[in-house]
Chains A and B, each alone.
Chain A
Amino acid sequence: MTESGERVLGLTRVEGTADWDRTYREHAAALARYLSRLARDAGTGEELMQECFARAIRHGTFPTADKDAKRWLYRIATNLAIDHLRRQRLIRFLPLVGEWIAPLGDAGTGDLVRRTLRDLPPEQATALVLRLHEGFSVREIGQMQGASETAVKQRLARGRLRFIEIYRRAGGAL
């Protein structure tokens, strides 16, 4: 990335680690919660969070404003979550058959919510969690997902209906 490009994006090169230490302290917990909502378990969510910071550091630049840092990290985390969800879908399909979807019986509500989110199209799942769990605006989600506000609204609307359908099919009561 050229220096002018970095200026346009509000990024500055890291000279030390202080920024990262502070950023980690401020955002790691929230990012881990966000990613755990979409992953199979909290451990996987925390690993994704760690990978999120690893990617951010590997990028070698740092947003100037804290507000930008948060959005930037969530954007990386969202991409990671989408990759993770897509990979999980592939793993479940390959090489022979798909996963047998059965009612979960006495599985906890939290597990059922996470499982249902994993069964949604990844863009819909991440949009829903960013909106409802993390409280981002539609515009902010659009920036993180690289999509228009109209597309995000559509993902949220379809995601809500799909969530209800899958959640009920898996035995959940709404």
Chain B
Amino acid sequence: MSHAAELLARRREEALDPAEDLYLREHLAGCAKCRELDRSIVRADRLIAGPAPAIVPGPMAPPRARMPVRAILVGALTVVLVVAGAVAGNALRERRSGQDVAGSGPAFAASVPDLPPDWSLEIRNGLLFAVPANWDAASDARDIEINDPRPQVGLAMMGGTTIGEVVEGVRESGVLVTERAIPADRPMHAYATRSSSTSTERGPTLTQHVLVQIDERTIVALSVPEKAVPGDGGAASPDDAATLELVGRSLFVLQDTDDMGTKFTEEEVVAALGRAASLEHSVLPTVDAYGVYAVNGDKYSFAHVRTFTDRATRQRQDPNLTTIQSIADWVSPVTFRGVGNVLVMVGSGDVNVRYRLLRALDSLLYPTEVVPAPTPRPPPATPMVQSTPSPAGPQRSSIALYRPTDILDGRITQLKSWAIPWAVYQPVFAGPADALVLYESPGPGTTELRVIHLTTGREEVVSMPPLHLYSQIYPLPDGRLLATGPAVLIGSPGGPAMVIADVFSQNSALSPSGSELALWSYGENVIRIVDLTSGSVRTLPERYVRCGEDGVVVLTWSPDARELAAAECADEHGDLRTWIIDARTGARSHSVPDISVRAWPTPSELFGYAGFPPGGEPQYVRIRRTGEILSRHPAGEISPDARYIAARTIKAAPTAAEPQRRIGVATLVEIATGRTVELGEDVWAVGWTPDGDLYILTHEGGS
């Protein structure tokens, strides 16, 4: 946050002191962006304060009582279905979209699966699903104990996304191991992932997931941990995969189950038999809720309870309803959903009978409108969209080396160049080695690595399937490749890879000499240092927390590899800062507030991002170790000698034929003088070789 922006926001609540006020007024006079921000703050305040949707809550309903009605048979393997009068379609939630509507609606769960009779039913988070006889279920996938001997299936709800986006995200994050296509009549997606297990010391574990799209906005992920899906080097057991898939097929969204924490005892249910039931107590059509409850923990018995919010209901002479206080004392959990009337008991030894009746009753009580099948959203734009070639044009890609002094002097002389396939989609990991590594995707779902040896010009294309799981790959001085992600691997291009350290990481930094690797994992929020020669791992003290859910702690080595800069936040929503740490002991020297260090080219100078002004670009600054800002620059890659910054920028370059045309430009800045040169229009990536040459990757033939 820039100082001026902070003051603008602060003065909405308090008078600034005279010095701050004077500074701000003078600053505003010369800063059009700040004046615009000031107006935006006022408009944002109005938006937040603006009219809320009109809500007229109904009268206060008393908490749900335990079975204040009658007409239940308990324990018998019979079904009693009593529907009390007409039911208003006043559903509280509209999560189920057209299920059970014959001949229409989405394909999901349109057919009732045939379940093994000895399976049991679970209702968690408002979802009905069947569970194998020897499995447990957890409402939250995070509750699954990895070491639990019983297989468990856990739920996780993901809102605002589609299966395709989730799978793509997993694939991009490099944790996707296998992916199985699901028949088109079932819009589920099954795949196995390799993910970290931070709660144990066992390192990466294999977890299998089945994703089910339950409506346009929500996915349910069913997960079974390693114990239930014994892997053989990454392949999930076909039997368990099929079992989990069947669990997924049984998934059914109940309209409103409130909280399943309520368990009725048999005595309570029997007591309810003597109560006036259903029709007499119904206050139609004000029904607005009902629930499904397990009875006495009996896996064969469920009770449907229809509830009322009409005050007339509790004004009747019902001993359970005379005072709210008396109910609140013994009903747990309390929800103001009114008082229930029992409608049905379902008990049968065959899970299919229970399952179908529960679904049928749910649909009867809450008929759903027919809605069209969810329209898949387009996949998120990938960076390649900037350089999408015109189909008719030639497609040529190349990577070339330049001397920065030549460019600044106006000579665009290529030192070396390599023609590379168009398929390169993620450019380069350069390290202390004399090589560049490029990701390529020659076909859907396939990934290769292209290693370019700068001195000899030799190229190697490596097809190493396990490596695509790894998020960061560095060429080492000895010609081998180092990969980080689920573990730390070292291998020769095209040859076998060896696990150096069984440590999961989301971000890493290779030391300048290439002998040590710093790792950070959000699971434990710690920094580890791996000695790549011995494989030893040491964990530094203190926790380092990323800024926001999608961030990572950024690590940067000092030139002499004695210190690390770690950009983190006090908590996920706290203030940004960079700690300067002794890389050997982990002792913190000091912190630099509000700056995220990204490069440390010389002992006394660091580069990083400072401030993230609303709607504006963060500033890239050169600082001292103490955080004192020396100069401000365009953001980019710092040359090894700290004399230049290279960046790729997107610029609008409209033509008559293409008014929306945008081009990628390489920008070279001399730090000392500020001299800036732009070149190219098909630039996809820029960076530096260890020798200080500028490389530019271009995709020609785009528009």
Question: Which residues of A approach B to under 8 Å, CB–CB?
Answer: 14-17, 20-21, 24-25, 28-29, 32-34, 36-37, 40, 42-43, 45-47, 49-51, 53-55, 57-58, 60, 88-89, 91-100, 102, 109-110, 113, 117, 121, 123-124, 128-129, 131-133, 138, 153, 156-158, 160-165, 167-168, 174
A102, B47: Cα distance in complex, Å: 20
Could you tell me if A96 and B336 are in contact, using CB atoms closer than 8 angstroms? no
Q: Is B201 an interface residue (CB 8 A)?
A: no
Q: Is B511 an interface residue (CB 8 A)?
A: no
Could you tell me if A109 and B56 are in contact, using CB atoms closer than 8 angstroms? no
Could you tell me if B1 and A156 are in contact, using CB atoms closer than 8 angstroms? no
Q: Given A28-B57, A53-B60, A113-B48, decide whether A161 and B325 contact each other with a Cβ distance below 8 A.
A: no
Could you tell me if B52 and A99 are in contact, using CB atoms closer than 8 angstroms? no
Q: List 9 A-B contacts (CB under 8 A).
A: A51-B335, A60-B329, A91-B158, A96-B221, A123-B573, A124-B573, A132-B48, A161-B1, A164-B614
Q: Which residues of B contact A123 (CB under 8 A)?
A: 573
Could you tell me if A163 and B48 are in contact, using CB atoms closer than 8 angstroms? yes
Min C-beta distance of B166 to chain A, whole Å: 6
Please tell me which stretch of B7-15, B360-368, B523-531, B635-643 contacts chain A, meaning at least 4 of its Cβ atoms lie within 8 angstroms of it: B7-15
* Shortest beta-carbon contacts, A-B, top 8: A97-B169, A121-B573, A157-B9, A50-B336, A24-B60, A54-B334, A132-B49, A165-B614
Please tell me which stretch of B38-46, B454-462, B680-688 contacts chain A, meaning at least 4 of its Cβ atoms lie within 8 angstroms of it: B38-46
Q: Given A97-B169, A100-B169, decide whether A117 and B48 contact each other with a Cβ distance below 8 A.
A: yes
Q: Given A33-B55, A53-B336, decide whether A133 and B48 contact each other with a Cβ distance below 8 A.
A: yes
A34, B40: Cα distance in complex, Å: 23
Min C-beta distance of B210 to chain A, whole Å: 12
Contacts A47-B92, A91-B157 known; 6 new A-B pairs at CB < 8 A: A36-B53, A96-B158, A133-B49, A161-B1, A164-B44, A165-B614
Q: Which residues of A contact B335 (CB under 8 A)?
A: 50-51, 54
Could you tell me if B13 and A96 are in contact, using CB atoms closer than 8 angstroms? no
Could you tell me if B328 and A60 are in contact, using CB atoms closer than 8 angstroms? yes
Q: Which residues of A contact B169 (CB under 8 A)?
A: 96-98, 100
Q: Given A98-B549, A100-B165, A138-B13, decide whether A161 and B48 contact each other with a Cβ distance below 8 A.
A: no
A28, B61: Cα distance in complex, Å: 12
- Picked from A20, A28, A34, A100, the residue with its CB within 8 Å of the CB of B161 is A100
Q: Which residues of A contact B1 (CB under 8 A)?
A: 158, 161
Q: Which residues of B contact A49 (CB under 8 A)?
A: 57
Could you tell me if A157 and B13 are in contact, using CB atoms closer than 8 angstroms? yes
Most buried by A among B44, B223, B336, B614: B44
Question: Which residues of B approach A to under 8 Å, CB–CB?
Answer: 1, 5-6, 9-10, 12-14, 37, 39-41, 43-45, 47-50, 52-53, 55-57, 59-61, 63, 92-93, 141-142, 156-161, 165-166, 169-170, 173, 175, 193, 195, 209, 221, 223, 323-325, 328-329, 332-337, 377, 380, 549-550, 573, 612, 614-615
Q: Which residues of A contact B141 (CB under 8 A)?
A: 94-95
Could you tell me if B166 and A97 are in contact, using CB atoms closer than 8 angstroms? yes
Could you tell me if B156 and A17 are in contact, using CB atoms closer than 8 angstroms? no
Q: Which residues of A contact B5 (CB under 8 A)?
A: 161
Q: Which residues of A contact B550 (CB under 8 A)?
A: 98
Q: Which residues of A contact B615 (CB under 8 A)?
A: 164-165, 168
A16, B324: Cα distance in complex, Å: 8
Could you tell me if A17 and B323 are in contact, using CB atoms closer than 8 angstroms? yes
Could you tell me if B14 and A97 are in contact, using CB atoms closer than 8 angstroms? no
- Picked from B12, B43, B193, the residue with its CB within 8 Å of the CB of A156 is B12
Could you tell me if B47 and A42 are in contact, using CB atoms closer than 8 angstroms? no
Q: Which residues of A contact B60 (CB under 8 A)?
A: 20-21, 24-25, 28, 53
A124, B48: Cα distance in complex, Å: 12
Could you tell me if B549 and A89 are in contact, using CB atoms closer than 8 angstroms? yes
Q: Given A36-B52, A174-B40, decide whether A97 and B324 contact each other with a Cβ distance below 8 A.
A: no
Q: Given A53-B336, A58-B328, A95-B209, decide whether A29 and B44 contact each other with a Cβ distance below 8 A.
A: no
Could you tell me if B336 and A157 are in contact, using CB atoms closer than 8 angstroms? no
Q: Which residues of A contact B44 (CB under 8 A)?
A: 160, 163-164, 167, 174
Question: Residue of B at shortest CB range from A154?
Answer: B10
A60, B615: Cα distance in complex, Å: 48
Could you tell me if A133 and B52 are in contact, using CB atoms closer than 8 angstroms? yes
Min C-beta distance of A116 to chain B, whole Å: 9
Min C-beta distance of B365 to chain A, whole Å: 18
A174, B48: Cα distance in complex, Å: 12
Q: Which residues of B contact A157 (CB under 8 A)?
A: 6, 9-10, 12-13
Min C-beta distance of A96 to chain B, whole Å: 5
Could you tell me if A160 and B41 are in contact, using CB atoms closer than 8 angstroms? yes
A20, B53: Cα distance in complex, Å: 25
Could you tell me if B9 and A17 are in contact, using CB atoms closer than 8 angstroms? no
Q: Given A92-B160, A153-B14, decide whether A164 and B41 contact each other with a Cβ distance below 8 A.
A: yes
Q: Given A128-B48, A157-B13, A161-B614, decide whether A100 and B380 contact each other with a Cβ distance below 8 A.
A: yes
Q: Which residues of B contact A14 (CB under 8 A)?
A: 325
- Picked from B43, B334, B337, the residue with its CB within 8 Å of the CB of A58 is B334
Q: Which residues of A contact B40 (CB under 8 A)?
A: 164, 174
- Picked from B12, B156, B325, the residue with its CB within 8 Å of the CB of A57 is B325
Min C-beta distance of B30 to chain A, whole Å: 20
Question: Residue of A at shortest CB range from B9?
Answer: A157
Min C-beta distance of A155 to chain B, whole Å: 10
